[in-house]
Structure 1
């Protein structure tokens, strides 16, 4: 789709070897915000013991690693809101990810329970006398259809608390993004941040493998002068499930359309049957709702000024289209690596066939990167990694977040626009997105932690 622009990018990168990179390429605007979600107020009250609480809350979180993480933090917040005891969250088996991992396979259970013991009482299972209850029969089973997305605290107090008081248990099935971000009591909001940024630690096995991965990304490639080299982590949200679900056109013609429709028929049977997919795809692209392709991601990096020798860690699962789709990116940036390139089969074997555990390795590599770039800001991984870098980065961990709607018009001119104009317009768009912003109202505290609920502004 972009042969001409890619050729211009390659020529520009060849010339750039003799020039220095833009001065702000590896830096982030200074920020006065500091982490403080771990600090509790002086008048903080302890949670009630199970026998004195309103009852037990169980959740079965759906989605992959990042959706599950949001669900866990929201469940902790709701348990505190209702003065309930939380049963250690369980994870739903997805027909897309096919991962049977449970909480203890990904996170340190004891650390999680102990860290939050002053906020929420957490137990590993229901009391024996309650384990045989038919939760659906007694009205304690709530599905995704029973709880609207981003429900306000009032919903849980008015609709869920009575069930909890009557039956001593409520079970949320398919629990995900089911708690609003505003208006929320300060302590509940801070608790969500405390859970996300402090209480959730990957298992020691995952953390050790992640640390080894980061160490090897920093190590030198064959033939290079020994040094500790910085790296850019790139999250390409271009797996087949995302590509199919987006309903966008990525230039693969009729074979691509048929393959993606077949995938939707199997994995997303509830999706509407659109009569004019071509018209829909065009509309979605104009609105900036289509994820950027690997080719578009490569062009953005080149336009920003990252040199050809830049070390690029590619995060994510199997890229739709395979190696041929990645060729433009790997041609412009030959020092492109994945976790599969850097960890041996033996080192990866404990996590094989467990997509959430493999995603945790990508999470670690992305949070530790000298620069993190994404192609789709709507991705949960990109959102959570960005928030993590804002929270712990101290203004030293740059994030590149493209404005897809503004970039659409640039890519549409790929057959005529000159490289200099393309480069300057890309840089202007990205530069505007890198300003230090506080959390907008109703936006996620996991993605935008710069707010008084999660962080504190350093005193001058």
Structure 2
């Protein structure tokens, strides 16, 4: 991703061990300096989308497709819908309970100052809607890659039938990034990455952890406010989630590694 191994990333030694090697002195590089990149975990797979009970602009065809998926994969949810009155899709979205769509993710990143020159590593499985749904991202961010496009077929073949190993590749690329952005703070994968970056990065490895409830209110009004105002509101919403907290009682040490159970102490 960096295109130039004359500089190791802050976490490369932790992630790669002895495999993290610098280029030999005097070896030419095609890039004058190491390229920085953003890693993005976009949680928009069909299981996430279907289970949310939200709507994503696809109309009746989308509703039927997701309902058919729920009948097969989430039968308990179908039964729950029959016996209880559940919140409407619009109410769920207003509460920030819907996965961020690729289109919303583009607005988020653009408001934070990322542009066409930004190099992005996209982690995750198959995005619901495929290439057409990702078009918003790839149009504004043409330097976007995945493990499938970054590696050759020969390189990725040994991992192809092992989902946990494919996830490990995403974990390494995301954790080593200069900045990591998640679209769902409840994701275990994103939590592990952000926790690892906090613990080994000393709290200095930037992570974008958006508050979806605040963003939902902003996105609803994005057609009626100027871009500058939209940009300021998004940045304020993200800034409020940047603080690194000690572990709250009962929360995972992986997500909140700053706690007595994890930290090492030197005896005087």
TM-score with structure 2 setting the length? 0.84
Do residues 449 (structure 1) and 244 (structure 2) align? no
Q: Shift of the alpha carbon at 1:455?
A: 1.7
For residue 307 of structure 1, what is the aligned residue in structure 2? 115
SS at match of 1:249: coil
Do residues 377 (structure 1) and 185 (structure 2) align? yes
Provide the C-alpha distance between the structure 1 equivalents of 2:78 and 2:184, rounded to a whole number of angstroms. Answer: 23
SS at match of 2:122: strand
- Picking from 8, 31, 34, the partner of 1:228 is 34
SS at match of 1:373: strand
- Picking from 228, 237, 247, the partner of 2:53 is 247
Q: Shift of the alpha carbon at 1:338?
A: 0.4
- Picking from 338, 349, 364, the partner of 2:157 is 349
- Picking from 136, 154, 166, the partner of 1:358 is 166
Q: Shift of the alpha carbon at 1:326?
A: 0.7
Provide the C-alpha distance between the structure 2 equivalents of 1:344 and 1:227, rounded to a whole number of angstroms. Answer: 24
User: Which consecutive aligned stretches of 4+ in structure 1 deviate over 4 angstroms post-superposition?
Assistant: 275-279, 456-459
Q: Shift of the alpha carbon at 1:229?
A: 0.3
Do residues 265 (structure 1) and 265 (structure 2) align? no
- Picking from 297, 312, 335, the partner of 2:105 is 297
- Per-residue CA deviation, residues 335-374 of structure 1 (Å, 9 max, x unaligned), is 1000011101111111113222111110111111100000
Corresponding pairs, count: 245
Q: Shift of the alpha carbon at 1:272?
A: 3.2
TM-score with structure 1 setting the length? 0.50
Q: Which runs of 5+ in 1 are unaligned?
A: 1-197, 216-223
Alpha-carbon distance change, 365 to 277 in structure 1, aligned in 2, over 3 angstroms? farther
Structure whose alpha-carbon radius of gyration is higher? 1
- Per-residue CA deviation, residues 36-81 of structure 1 (Å, 9 max, x unaligned), is xxxxxxxxxxxxxxxxxxxxxxxxxxxxxxxxxxxxxxxxxxxxxx
Alpha-carbon distance change, 345 to 418 in structure 1, aligned in 2, over 3 angstroms? same
Q: Shift of the alpha carbon at 1:401?
A: 0.2
Q: Shift of the alpha carbon at 1:457?
A: 7.7
Alpha-carbon distance change, 277 to 327 in structure 1, aligned in 2, over 3 angstroms? farther
Provide the C-alpha distance between the structure 1 equivalents of 2:135 and 2:32, rounded to a whole number of angstroms. Answer: 27
SS at match of 2:240: helix
Provide the C-alpha distance between the structure 2 equivalents of 1:247 and 1:444, rounded to a whole number of angstroms. Answer: 27
Alpha-carbon distance change, 437 to 308 in structure 1, aligned in 2, over 3 angstroms? same
- Per-residue CA deviation, residues 193-235 of structure 1 (Å, 9 max, x unaligned), is xxxxx9xx99x9xx97xx79xx9xxxxxxxx854310100000
Do residues 438 (structure 1) and 249 (structure 2) align? no
Do residues 386 (structure 1) and 194 (structure 2) align? yes
For residue 232 of structure 2, what is the aligned residue in structure 1? 424
For residue 321 of structure 1, what is the aligned residue in structure 2? 129
* Equivalent pair of 2:38/2:179 in contact (CA under 8 Å): yes
* Equivalent pair of 1:233/1:366 in contact (CA under 8 Å): yes
For residue 4 of structure 2, what is the aligned residue in structure 1? none
SS at match of 1:243: helix
More strand per residue: 1
Do residues 414 (structure 1) and 241 (structure 2) align? no
Provide the C-alpha distance between the structure 2 equivalents of 1:288 and 1:384, rounded to a whole number of angstroms. Answer: 22
Provide the C-alpha distance between the structure 1 equivalents of 2:145 and 2:86, rounded to a whole number of angstroms. Answer: 34
SS at match of 1:237: coil
* Equivalent pair of 1:285/1:408 in contact (CA under 8 Å): yes
SS at match of 2:76: coil
* Equivalent pair of 1:247/1:281 in contact (CA under 8 Å): yes
Q: Shift of the alpha carbon at 1:394?
A: 1.6
Q: Shift of the alpha carbon at 1:414?
A: 2.4
For residue 335 of structure 1, what is the aligned residue in structure 2? 143
Provide the C-alpha distance between the structure 2 equivalents of 1:438 and 1:279, rounded to a whole number of angstroms. Answer: 33
* Equivalent pair of 2:70/2:78 in contact (CA under 8 Å): no
Aligned-residue CA RMSD (Å): 2.7
